[in-house]
Amino acid sequence: MLDGIQKIPIFQWLKFSDTDLLDFGQCVDQNRQRQFAFLFGVDGQLLSALVMGATGAVGSTYNYLGKKTNQMLEAYERKDFSSALNYQLCIQRFINFVIKLGFGVSQTKAIMTLVSGIPMGPPGSHCRKPPRSLLTMQKLN
């Protein structure tokens, strides 16, 4: 896929959305000289991707896990890898919690409403409703 990119003069970045870090590493290795921004799209593996050469991230959980993610990035920049790992593990625990709820648009909207206090509106009619436990947590806050 990346072989023809040099023909696109304005090409600046790519988002890698697979969990295969071997494939991601090969992508970085083969294209490092082109100085692309390598954005990683698997939020629960960002720390590992940074080590492999990711220069940024794009993901849905950063909407409500932004503070923890920024703390992880700051620890990584300070080379405090123990703290960075602890933040990544905390993020993973929360992502696992959300996955158990269904991790769809409705769950994400409910979590965003819960975390931000800003009503995100109901999910579209094509989406599954969030679990009652999450809706109850919203009402308590």
Whether 94 and 116 map to the same domain: the answer is no
Tens digit of each residue's pLDDT (9 = 90 or more) over 10-37? 777 889 999 999 999 998 888 777 777 8
How many domains does the chain fold into? 2
Whether 68 and 83 map to the same domain: the answer is yes
Which among 105, 111, 96 has a CA at the least distance from the CA of 129? 105
User: Structural domain of residue 137, as residue ranges?
Assistant: 102-141
Whether 115 and 54 map to the same domain: the answer is no
Buried b or exposed e, range 52-77, using 16+ CB within 10 angstroms: bebeebebebbebbeebbebbbebbe
Whether 79 and 91 map to the same domain: the answer is yes
pLDDT at 141 over 50: no
* 76 and 47 Cβ atoms separated by less than 8 Å: yes
Tens digit of each residue's pLDDT (9 = 90 or more) over 51-106? 999 999 999 888 889 999 999 999 999 999 999 999 999 999 999 988 887 777 77
Whether 49 and 59 map to the same domain: the answer is yes
Helix (H) or strand (E) holding 16: strand 13-16
Tens digit of each residue's pLDDT (9 = 90 or more) over 100-123? 877 777 788 888 888 888 888 877
- Domain with residue 38: its CATH number is 3.40.50
Lookup: tokens for 4: 């023809």
| Alpha helical stretches, state H, the chain | 21-31, 46-52, 62-77, 81-101, 105-116, 132-140
Whether 34 and 93 map to the same domain: the answer is yes
